[in-house]
Homo-oligomer: A and B are copies of this chain.
């Protein structure tokens, strides 16, 4: 019975035929960047130039953050126990959760719910930022995507907003995020800057992505980082070494510039 079949709208497969959201895979390989292909896959449509550059910058921004994030520990522990590369990547991704990499999803949810109150009236953004700040106080919640454990000014945030601005990309979510930064900083009497998770949350919200995909941007971006750590552990360390108790230091290439 035809109606017993379940449906998928992602990719159609036939003999010698692979079409992602309707487009031929060989053409995508030739014509699209990987970031554009990711956009197509998740959004269902081809990105414009602004969306393509923003998606690329988002995926690059979180590709690695050194050896201290807990997901790196998860991945290295799985290799250290004597397991395959795919198990190690799975082990790292399992660690990504509400408290690690989860700020994109949480911030996007809040921005989408509150920016909707502004409708199409940009003049209302400042007022809504103030209301949102009061709501956070009332709920005793910190705004996710603001502040950083290490960085006082996350270097990825201005670059992402710069790329958005270059394309005149300024929807109500970016606006609300920036307005909120002012309100929160004023309230605290010191800067509480938007971190890369907050910036990604604002940008993907303006791009029309559901907040429930928030963690996906971090996961897709970070997998190559986890691979690099798995491979370094595999090739450079002894099995079942003490993971953690000793500090580490960077011994890779010195600072250099892309010409």
Contact = CB atoms under 8 A, between A and B. Distances in A.
The range of chain A's interface size is: 35 or more
A197 to B, nearest CB: 13
Interface stretch (A15-23, A125-133, A174-182): A15-23
A69 to B, nearest CB: 9
A250 B78 contact: no
Contacts of A17: 155
A159 B29 contact: yes
Copies in the complex: 4
A2 B246 CA distance: 10
A15 B154 CA distance: 9
A129 B23 CA distance: 36
B156 A25 contact: yes
A221 to B, nearest CB: 8
Nearest to A95: B81
A20 B152 CA distance: 19
A93 B86 CA distance: 6
Contact of A246 (B5, B152, B241): B5
A108 interface: no
A156 B232 CA distance: 30
A256 B190 CA distance: 52
Contact of A65 (B13, B21, B96): B13
B84 A215 contact: yes
**Interface-centre pick from A89, A152, A236, A255 (highest chain B CB count, 10 A):** A89
B97 A78 contact: yes
Contact of A77 (B4, B38, B65, B74): B74
A189 interface: no
Given A9-B232, A16-B152, A215-B86, A74 B78 contact: yes
A247 B248 contact: no
Given A42-B224, A243-B70, A82 B61 contact: no
A24 B25 CA distance: 33
18 contacts: A8-B67, A8-B248, A11-B65, A12-B252, A22-B252, A22-B253, A22-B256, A25-B156, A42-B224, A71-B81, A74-B78, A78-B95, A81-B100, A82-B100, A86-B93, A87-B97, A93-B93, A94-B94
Q: Which 3 A-B pairs have the closest CB atoms?
A: A244-B244, A82-B98, A9-B252
